[in-house]
Amino acid sequence: MTETRKGLGSTTVPKLSVKEHAAPGESPTVITVNKLDVHYGTFCAVRGVSMKIKENRVTAFIGPSGCGKSTVLRCFNRMNVLIPGARVTGEINFFGQDLYAAEVDPTEMRSRVGMVFQKPNPFPKSIYDNVAFGLKVNGYTGNYPDAVERSLKRAALWGEVKDRLKENALQLSGGQQQRLCIARALAPEPEVLLMDEPASALDPISTLAIEQLINDLCTDVSIIIVTHNMQQAARVSHETAFFMVDDDRAGYLVEFDDTSNIFTNPNDERTEAYITGRFS
Residues of the shown chain interacting with another protein in the complex, contacts defined by CB under 8 A: 1, 3, 5, 77, 79, 82, 84, 107-111, 114-115, 117, 119, 121-125, 133-134, 136-138, 168, 170-171, 181, 184-185, 187-188
- When the beta carbons of 28 and 122 are compared against another protein, the nearer one is 122
Q: How far is the CB of 23 from another protein (least distance, A)?
A: 32
Q: How far is the CB of 255 from another protein (least distance, A)?
A: 28
Q: How far is the CB of 115 from another protein (least distance, A)?
A: 4
Q: How far is the CB of 269 from another protein (least distance, A)?
A: 37
- When the beta carbons of 121 and 231 are compared against another protein, the nearer one is 121
Contact 43, 251 (CB under 8 A): no
User: Residue 44 pairs with which residues in a beta bridge?
Assistant: 39
Q: How far is the CB of 114 from another protein (least distance, A)?
A: 7
- When the beta carbons of 199 and 234 are compared against another protein, the nearer one is 199
Contact 128, 166 (CB under 8 A): yes
Q: How many beta carbons lie within 10 A of that of residue 258, not counting itself?
A: 14
Orientation angle between helical segments 144-154 and 174-186, nearest 10 degrees: 130
Task: Mention every residue, 6+ apart, whose C-beta is less than 8 A from residue 65.
Answer: 228
- When the beta carbons of 36 and 113 are compared against another protein, the nearer one is 113
Q: How far is the CB of 8 from another protein (least distance, A)?
A: 11
- When the beta carbons of 189 and 255 are compared against another protein, the nearer one is 189
Contact 181, 120 (CB under 8 A): yes
- When the beta carbons of 34 and 118 are compared against another protein, the nearer one is 118
Task: Mention every residue, 6+ apart, whose C-beta is less than 8 A from residue 151.
Answer: 131, 183, 184, 186, 187
String of DSSP letters for 5-17: -----TTTS-TTT
Angle at alpha carbon of residue 148, lines to 191 and 211, rounded to 5°: 55
Angle at alpha carbon of residue 170, lines to 165 and 172, rounded to 5°: 65
Distance CA 9, CA 267 (A): 41
Distance CA 93, CA 138 (A): 23
Q: How far is the CB of 76 from another protein (least distance, A)?
A: 11
Residue 39 identity:
H
Q: How far is the CB of 159 from another protein (least distance, A)?
A: 23
Distance CA 46, CA 251 (A): 4
- When the beta carbons of 131 and 244 are compared against another protein, the nearer one is 131
- When the beta carbons of 185 and 199 are compared against another protein, the nearer one is 185
- Residue 69 CA to its chain's centroid (Å): 11
